[in-house]
Amino acid sequence: MPTGIKHYPVALHESPVTAEVMEHLPHPSPTERHRLVEHIKRLLTEQNAVLVAHYYVHEDLQRLAEETGGYVSDSLDMARFGHEHPATTLVVAGVRFMGETAKILNPEKRVLMPTLEAECSLDLDCPAEKFIPFCDAHPDREVVVYSNTSAAVKARADWVVTSSIAVKLVEHLHARGRKILWAPDKHLGNYIQRETGADMLIWDGRCVVHEEFKAAAMREFKQQFPEAGILVHPESPAEVIDMADAVGSTSQLIEAARTLPHRLFIVATDNGIFYKMKQAAPGKEFVVAPSGGTGASCRSCGHCPWMAMNDLPSLARTLETGSNEIQVPEEIRVQALRSTQRMLDFSAQLKRKVLGTGTA
Ligand code: 13P
Ligand code: SF4
pLDDT above 80: residue 10: no
Q: Which residues line ligand 1 (CB under 6 A)?
A: 74-76, 148, 162-163, 207, 233, 235, 249-250
Q: By the 8 A CB rule, do 339 and 181 touch?
A: no
* φ/ψ (deg, to 5) at 160: -110, 140
Report field, pTM of the whole predicted structure over 0.85 = yes
Give start and end residues of each alpha helix (H) in the chain. 18-24, 30-46, 59-67, 75-84, 96-105, 121-124, 128-136, 151-156, 166-175, 186-196, 215-224, 238-241, 250-259, 274-280, 312-321, 330-354
Q: Does residue 2 surpass a pLDDT of 70?
A: no
What is the maximum alpha-carbon separation in the chain? 62
Compute, in angstroms, the gap from residue 32 CA to the centroid of ligand 1: 31
Average pLDDT across the chain, whole number: 94
**pLDDT for 354:** 78
Q: Whose CA is nearest to atom 3 of ligand 1?
A: 249
**pLDDT over threshold 60, residue 279:** yes
Give the closest residue to 349 by CA, choosing from 341, 340, 358, 336: 358
In DSSP notation, 70-91 reads: -EEE-HHHHHHHHHH---SEEE
Ligand 1 atom closest to the CA of 304, numbered from 1: 10
Q: For residues 197-226, give the mean pLDDT.
A: 95
Cα 303 to ligand 2 centroid, rounded to whole Å: 9
pLDDT at 358 over 70: no
- pLDDT at 299 (0 to 100): 86
Share of the chain above pLDDT 90, in %: 90
52 Cα: distance to centroid of ligand 1 (angstroms): 14
| pLDDT tens digits, one per residue of 171-210 | 999 999 999 999 999 999 999 999 999 999 999 999 999 9
Provide the residue count of the chain. 360
Higher pLDDT, 356 or 168: 168
Calculate how far, in angstroms, residue 125's C-alpha sits from the geometric centre of ligand 1: 16
* pLDDT computed for residue 297 by the predictor: 75
**The predicted structure's pLDDT at residue 298:** 83
Q: Indicate if the pLDDT at residue 356 is higher than 80.
A: no
Within 8 A by CB and 6+ apart from 41, the residues are 64, 67, 68
Helix axes 96-105, 330-354, angle to 10 degrees: 90
Nearest CA to ligand 2 atom 6: 120
For residue range 292-329, what is the model confidence (pLDDT) as tens digits?
766 567 889 999 999 999 999 999 999 999 999 999 99
Ligand 2 atom 5 nearest Cα: 304
The pLDDT tens digits for 28-55 are 999 999 999 999 999 999 999 999 999 9
Q: Write down the pLDDT at residue 292.
A: 77
Neighbours of 132 (CB within 10 A): 15
